[in-house]
Amino acid sequence: MKKILVIHGPNLSLLGKREPGIYGKQTLEKINKDLKDLAKKAKVSLTIMQSNHEGEIVDAIGNSRSSYDALIINPAAYTHTSVAIRDAIAAAAVKTIEVHLSNIYAREEFRQNSLVAPVCVGSISGFGAESYYLAFSAVLSLLKIQKN
Ligand code: DQA
């Protein structure tokens, strides 16, 4: 069974309450439940974590090297600042998809640069919670798993 890891970065545990005009009303719990349902249907194993700590995220990516087939990551604010997370993705050599709820390219200038984008297979940005489901679908395609 293929194994997928989803990493949610800082402040994403507050989804639903946090700036809903930008990030939507969907809670992280609901997104995670939907992803679990999709994983069950596709018969893949899914692990989900959320962390506000850069080092913890770096550790999780590093550990994914031999244990996961693909990674979906919303690095949140670390997208724009973390060379460490970018280097961890490059070092892990696990197929990685970058996700953002908001369209980072339509926001403040400091959000328009993603340090992780160049080391990811691709990025999905701007579709709210749907960004995660699109990323999941992209992962299934990458891993050549048939979608139901
Ligand atoms: C975000 C966009 C980031 O700029 C921001 O810091 C976040 C969330 C998104 O999903 O739209 O925390 O990654």
Q: Look at residue 145 in the predicted model and tell me its pLDDT.
A: 87
Nearest to 49 by CA among 57, 38, 41: 57
Residues 6+ apart with CB under 8 A from 144: none
Whether 13 maps to a domain, the answer reads yes
User: Which pLDDT score is estimated for 130?
Assistant: 98
User: Is 147 domain-assigned?
Assistant: no
- For the domain that residue 131 is a member of, what is the CATH number? 3.40.50.9100
- Domain assignment present for residue 137? The answer is yes
In a domain, 56, yes or no: yes
Of the candidates 8, 68, 78, 100, the residue annotated as catalytic is 100
Q: Is the pLDDT of residue 148 over 70?
A: no
Among 31, 104, 108, 124, residue to substitute to test ligand 1 (most atoms within 8 Å of Cβ): 104
pLDDT of 39 reads 98
- Rounded to two decimals, the pTM is 0.97
Give residue 47's domain range. Answer: 3-142
Over the stretch 106-129, which tens digit does the pLDDT of each residue have? 999 999 999 999 999 999 999 999
Binding site membership of 82 for ligand 1 (Cβ less than 6 Å): no
Percent of the chain with pLDDT over 90: 96
Rounded CA gap, 4 and 16, in Å? 24
Count up the domains in the chain and report the number.
1
Nearest atom, ligand 1, residue 74 CA: 13
Active site residue 8: no
Whether pLDDT at 57 is above 90: yes
In this structure, is residue 10 part of a structural domain? yes
Q: Is 1 in a helix, a strand, or coil?
A: coil
Q: Does a structural domain hold residue 16?
A: yes
Residue 58 maps to a domain = yes
For 1-20, the pLDDT digits (tens) are: 999 999 999 999 999 999 99
Residue 148 lies in a domain: no
Mean pLDDT, the chain, rounded, equals 97
Determine the pLDDT at residue 147.
72
